[in-house]
Structure 1
Amino acid sequence: MYQTDPPRPPKEILPTMYHLKSEDPEEPGLPDEFHDLQPELLKQTFQPSNYSSEELFTGTDLNLYYDPRYPQWYKRPDWFAVLGVSHLYEQRDLRLSYVIWQEGVNPFIIVELLSPGTEEEDLGQTLRDVNKPPTKWQVYEQILRIPYYIVFNRYTDELQIFGLVTNRYQPLILNQGQLWIEEIQLGIGLWRGNYQGIERNWLRWYDSQGNWILTPEEREYKRAETERQRAEDIGLQLEQERQKAAKLAEYLRSLGLDPDNLPRN
C-alpha cells in the first residue's frame, strides 16, 4: 500500500496481527516445561492493585512486533506485561501476537528465563550483525524502552533486574532477592515453594504487606481450609455445650431433680 500526503498512521497501512506470523514450527529453542510453568505462575500472581484485570495484558512466548520500519521483525519474550490495554485485542479477540503499531502501548516489564543458548543475547553480551535484526537487549532498551527488564537463571537461581535509567539499562539493587515496583504497587522476587508439584525457587509477585500473591488454586485451598476450620470450631463449640448440659443434668440428679421434667416459665 502506497503512502499518502499527509502520511497515514502506521496502524492503517502496516500489517495487523492477523497478517503477521504468530508461530514458526522450525524455530529452534522450543520451550521446556519450566518455560511453561514459570510464566504461568507470573501471570497468576500479577495483580496490581491500581489496575483492574480488564486493563492488563500478559503474554507468554508470544511474538512481539516492535518496528514499523521492519514489520516482519519480532522478539519472543518468555513473559511480558502491558499496562492500560484491554486483555483482548481491540476488546474482542484473543491475540495471536502483540503488534506495537496496532496496540499503541509498549510493555511495562519483560522477563527472560535464561537458557544456555540464549544467555549472551539476553544479557546484552552479543553484538548485532549488520544484516540481522537487533538483539533482545537493544530492542528492549533502545527501541521499546521497557522500564523493567528481568532475567532469571533457574540453573543458578540468579535473579537480575535492570531498570531504564537515562535511556540505558542499569542493574537495580535487590533486597534479599526482591524488588518493590512502585508504579504497579507490586514486588517481585524469589519464592521457595511447591508449585505444580515441583519444589524449587520460583519467580513470583508479592503485595505491599510482603505477602506472596496467591494463585487461584492457593486461594481456593485457603478458602476450603478456612471453612473446614470454621466447621471444626462450630463442632467444638457444640461439643462443649453438650458437655456442659450433661454436667448440669448430673448435678440436678444429685439434688433429686429430674432434668427432663423441670418446670418451665
Structure 2
Amino acid sequence: MVSQPLSRLPSTTELPCSDDIPVGLSFGSLSRSEEQNLLPNLLLLALASLWAERMDWFFGVDMAVYHTTGVSTKVPVVPDAFLSIGVERQKANQPRGRLSYAMWEEGETAPILAIELVSQTPGKEYGEKLEIYHRLGVLYYVVYNPLHWKRDQHQPFEVYKLEAGEYQLQLGEPFWMPEVGLGIGRARQLVGGLEREVLLWHNEQGQAYPVPEAEMKALRSQLRKSDQRAQAAEQRAEAERQRAEAAERQIEVERQRAAKLIEQLRSLGIDPDKD
C-alpha cells in the first residue's frame, strides 16, 4: 500500500487519462468487444435519465480509477463500469468531464458498484480485480460472463457484496441494492433494431428500466467516437513499441561496430584498453 501525503499525490491532469491507457495494461485484452462497449454505456444512459435531477453521483465507463492501495499511485484499476455516490456529478474544475477517477480527489470515496464483463481472454475478474475492489471497499461487485462462465466455473451473472470485510456471493436476479436505490440484472432490450440480452437497472419490484431508442442513437454516435479514440490509443502504443525496437536495433549495431573496431585495433597490436 502506498503511504504518501495528499499534497504529494499527482492530480488527474498529471496522470495518464483513460484514453491513453491500453486496456491490456489494466488486466484485460488489447481490444474491447462490441458488448464491452455497449452494455456499460446503456447503463450510463439509463442512469442519466433516471437520476437527471441528482448531482451527487458519477458513473464511469472504462475509466481509470487511481488509488493508494497498490504498489504505485500511477497504476490504476480500470473497471468496465463503476458507480460512485456522494461525489460531484461534474467537477467544477473539469467542465469537459473527468479524465480519470483519482480517489484522493474524490474525498477518498470508493465506487459503491464495480462491473466487469468477462471477455474471450480472461482478465482476472475473479481473482486480482476482486482483490483490488475488496481493498478499495467497493460494496457491490458485478461480474457478467454470458459466454465463458462454464470455462471459468462461475455463473453467467454474479453479484458480490462486501459483508463483514469479505465478498459474499448474493442470490437473486435482478438483484436489489438498497444502498444504491436500484437493482441490476439481465433483460432483453431492442438495440438498433436487434433484440439482445443486456444489463439494465431495475426497480425494487424487479421491473427493468429500458433505454429509449432516441437515446440509443446518441449512444451509437458516442460509441463510434469512443472506438476511434481506442484505436488511436492502440496506434500510439504500437508506435512506441516500434520506436523501442528501433532503438534496440541501433544499440546492437553500435555494439557490433565497437566490437569490430576493437578487433581491428588488436590486429594492429594496439591494446584498446590502454590510454
**TM-score of the aligned structures, taking structure 2 as reference length:** 0.65
Q: 2:99 aligns with which of 86, 96, 99?
A: 96
CA deviations over 1:70-117 (Å, ceiling 9, x no partner): 211111100000001112234643111100111121100000000132
Q: CA deviation at 1:172?
A: 0.3
| Mapping 1:198-217, distance limit 5 Å | 198-217=194-213
The number of residues matched between the two structures is 199
Aligned partners of 1:149, 1:193: CA distance in 2, in Å?
Answer: 23
| Mapping 1:231-242, distance limit 5 Å | none
Q: CA deviation at 1:48?
A: 9.9
Aligned partners of 2:23, 2:180: CA distance in 1, in Å?
Answer: 37
Give yes or no for the alignment of 1:18 onto 2:19: no
The percentage of counterpart residues that share the same residue type is 29
CA deviations over 1:30-80 (Å, ceiling 9, x no partner): 212111110011112236978943111010111111117621111110000
Q: Which structure's residues are more often helix, by fraction?
A: 2
Aligned partners of 1:138, 1:80: CA distance in 2, in Å?
Answer: 16
Letter in 2 for 1:62: M
Query: Corresponding residue for 2:86?
Result: 84
Instruction: Point out the structure with max Rg over C-alpha.
Output: 1
**5+ residue gaps, structure 2:** 150-154, 217-275
Report if the CA contact (8 A) 2:190-2:196 is conserved: yes
| Mapping 1:4-83, distance limit 5 Å | 9-10=5-6, 12-22=7-17, 23-25=20-22, 27=24, 28-46=29-47, 52-67=53-68, 70-83=72-85
**5+ residue gaps, structure 1:** 1-6, 125-134, 221-265
Report if the CA contact (8 A) 2:174-2:206 is conserved: no
Aligned partners of 1:38, 1:91: CA distance in 2, in Å?
Answer: 29
Report if the CA contact (8 A) 2:45-2:215 is conserved: no
Change (3 A) 1:158 1:98: same
CA deviations over 1:117-151 (Å, ceiling 9, x no partner): 225x1012xxxxxxxxxx2111101x201000000
Aligned partners of 1:189, 1:25: CA distance in 2, in Å?
Answer: 29
SS in 1 for 2:184: strand
Compare 46-55 and 186-195 and name the one that shifted more: 46-55
SS in 2 for 1:204: strand
Report if the CA contact (8 A) 1:79-1:110 is conserved: yes
Q: 2:143 aligns with which of 151, 176, 201?
A: 151
Q: CA deviation at 1:152?
A: 0.3
